[in-house]
Amino acid sequence: MPILNICGGEQGGVGKSTVAGTILQYHIDHELPFSAFDLDRSNADVKRRFGKVCDVHLAILSEAQQHEDAANALFNAALEQNVICNLPAQVLPALNVWIEHNQLIELAVETDVQLRIFHVAAPSFESRKLLSHSLNLFGDHIPHVLVKNLGMPGRWEQFEDEDLTELIEAYDLTVIEFPKFIGNSEKEFMDAQSMSYGEALRHPDLGPISKQRIKGFLRKAYDAFEDASLFTQKPKYVHEIVPFKRPSKGKDKEVQK
């Protein structure tokens, strides 16, 4: 069953493109077939860093009528293989319109495609609030993976509270801890050269310690993916999706559940 992996989080600067790029590198390293899309038109970081080693398509997710078909390539690609797409910030309303207007929840069941949302989070109240909003819209129909980005500064006590525990239980959330990348100089080098992890590991200007740091980061990230069985078994909610309905105004799953 192909999976349309949507890497979002709504908040800017929380590492969405880093998580999407690492998922992409995982597919490359494990020789898994995939299609990749970058929807961040203002900063297509995944396209910039990985476009030399694989096809990364640009797409638009917009509420504007003239762009109503611009994201359809994501779903069409998922009919054949896993799709990894990187979303920009503040795109949840457009994602909701695209899913609802095209009845993608029902279509996914008919075509045996799984939708999955990666919510990349920073240790902040705002990031937690945005997770609640995404679950309020899609949580009963689309499984979510909460990605706690340990590379973001702050204290996770601001994010982890009793309400979060209730959300995890209510929606059977998968939670992974995404590792911090150790090595600012290596990050700056890859960014300046628009370089994927694989390219960096083969680059002659990086020494053995730098390459070991990259390998260590990928190993920890891959372990997190595999411990949660993200790409090694069928995801949840297969053939258990009910027809999608827009939540009524004022409905708040965080409070009711």
Band (pLDDT 50/70/90 cuts) for residue 234 is low
User: 208-227 and 184-192 are packed helices; what angle lies between their axes, rounded to 10 degrees?
Assistant: 90
Contacting residues for 242 by C-beta, under 8 A, at least 6 apart: 140, 141
Residue 69 has pLDDT above 70, yes or no: yes
**N residues, the chain:** 257
Task: Express as a percent the part of the chain with pLDDT over 90.
Answer: 77
Q: Tell me, what's the pLDDT at 66? A: 83
Task: Identify the H or E element spanning 76.
Answer: helix 72-78
Six-digit token string for 100: 């609802």
Q: Tell me, what's the pLDDT at 250? A: 43
Band (pLDDT 50/70/90 cuts) for residue 195 is very high
Residue 67 has pLDDT above 90, yes or no: no
Torsion 151-124-156-231 (CA) sign = negative
Torsion 117-68-52-4 (CA) sign = positive
Kindly report the three-state secondary structure assignment for every residue of 183-244.
CHHHHHHHHHCCCCHHHHHHCCCCCHHHHHHHHHHHHHHHHHHHHCCCCCCCCCCCCCCCCC
Task: Express as a percent the part of the chain with pLDDT over 70.
Answer: 90
Q: How many CB atoms lie within 10 A of CB 233?
A: 9
Residue 246 has pLDDT above 50, yes or no: no
Residue 249 has pLDDT above 60, yes or no: no
Mean pLDDT in residue range 27-34: 95
Residue 216 has pLDDT above 50, yes or no: yes
**Distance, CA of 49 to CA of 250 (rounded, Å):** 41
Asked whether 144 and 119 are in contact (CB, 8 A), the reply is yes
Fold for the domain defined by 3-181: Rossmann fold (3.40.50)
Torsion 104-23-191-10 (CA) sign = positive
pTM of the predicted model, to two decimals? 0.88
Q: How do residues 112-168 score in pLDDT, each as one tens digit?
A: 999 999 999 999 989 999 999 999 999 999 999 999 999 999 988 878 877 888 889
**Alpha helices, H only, 125-183:** 125-138, 162-171
The domain spans of the chain are 3-181
Residue 199 has pLDDT above 70, yes or no: yes
Q: Mean pLDDT score of the chain, rounded to an integer? A: 89
